[in-house]
């Protein structure tokens, strides 16, 4: 499962408490146009990755993902999951929960505050990027947890990119992160195009909807 901790997540995983993963295409799982059926088929592998990190699957916190810009604070107990209407989740540095976002061409964006240990994970596709969901998440993290963008590290996952898509999602996300106050050197872009490598990634566009979902994870390792 080490392949699910790729080099572009090294800055996050170098921090001992962090558990950052990106679960790509899972061999042997049949894809379908039914999103929920695919996710159900992928869940055993996703839970295995969590367990190998010492994180109980019951601690996974997910968003409904409606291509909007609603952000939700989650924790170890509380609201039901997935969080209705939300496309981004964040939690405090001491929370033992693990944030999870599904993607299949859209970008997942990890945000980590080096001062407070607070973590965020956003689903930023074409519409979410147009609505600046990463900016909304950073504003919520500042208001709720005192997070300062200048102290944060951000990572942009593999996603669809030109020439396979007419919108340059990762470049727009980078600009939004910089406008929010992140230092350019603290923004890591995977540089990988999901549409260019369907042996490794799921691509909704290339596979015309008959595809799986990758899972971005961001949690805190148990002490």
Residue 22 tokens read as 């990106």
Q: CA-to-CA distance for 10 and 212, rounded, in angstroms?
A: 25
CA 120 to chain centre: 8
Query: 19 to each of 51, 86, 221, how far by Cα in Å?
Result: 11, 22, 6
Which of 179, 210, 216 has the alpha carbon at shortest distance from 32? Answer: 210
Q: Domain limits of the chain? A: 2-220
Arch. (CATH architecture) of 2-220: 4-Layer Sandwich (3.60)
Handedness of CA 191, 45, 99, 107 (dihedral sign): positive
pLDDT values of the chain reduced to their tens digit, one per residue, 223 residues: 457 999 999 999 999 999 999 999 999 999 999 999 999 999 999 999 999 999 999 999 999 999 999 999 999 875 667 999 999 999 999 999 999 999 999 999 999 999 999 999 999 999 999 999 999 999 999 999 999 999 999 999 999 999 999 999 999 999 999 999 999 999 999 999 999 999 999 999 999 999 999 999 999 998 7
**17-64 pLDDT, tens digit each:** 999 999 999 999 999 999 999 999 999 999 999 999 999 999 999 999
């Amino acid at each position: 499962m080490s392949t699910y901790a790729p080099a572009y997540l090294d800055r996050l995983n170098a921090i001992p408490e962090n558990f950052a993963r990106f679960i790509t295409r899972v061999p042997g799982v049949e894809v379908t146009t039914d999103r929920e059926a695919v996710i159900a088929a992928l869940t055993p592998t996703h839970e295995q990755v969590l367990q190998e990190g010492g994180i109980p699957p019951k601690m996974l916190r997910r968003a409904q993902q409606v291509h909007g810009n609603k952000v939700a604070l989650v924790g170890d107990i509380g609201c039901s999951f997935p969080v209705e209407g939300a496309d981004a989740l964040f939690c405090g540095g001491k929370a033992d929960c693990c944030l999870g976002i599904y993607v299949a061409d859209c970008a997942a964006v990890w945000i980590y505050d080096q001062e407070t240990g607070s973590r965020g994970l956003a689903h930023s596709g074409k519409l979410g990027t147009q609505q600046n969901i990463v900016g909304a998440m950073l504003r919520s993290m500042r208001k709720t947890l005192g997070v300062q963008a200048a102290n944060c590290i951000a990572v942009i996952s593999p996603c669809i990119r030109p020439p396979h898509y007419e919108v340059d999602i990762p470049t727009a996300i980078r600009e939004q992160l910089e406008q929010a106050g992140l230092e350019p050197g603290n923004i890591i872009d995977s540089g990988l195009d999901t549409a260019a490598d369907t042996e490794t990634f799921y691509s909704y566009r290339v596979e015309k909807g008959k595809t799986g979902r990758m899972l971005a994870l961001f949690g805190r390792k148990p002490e």
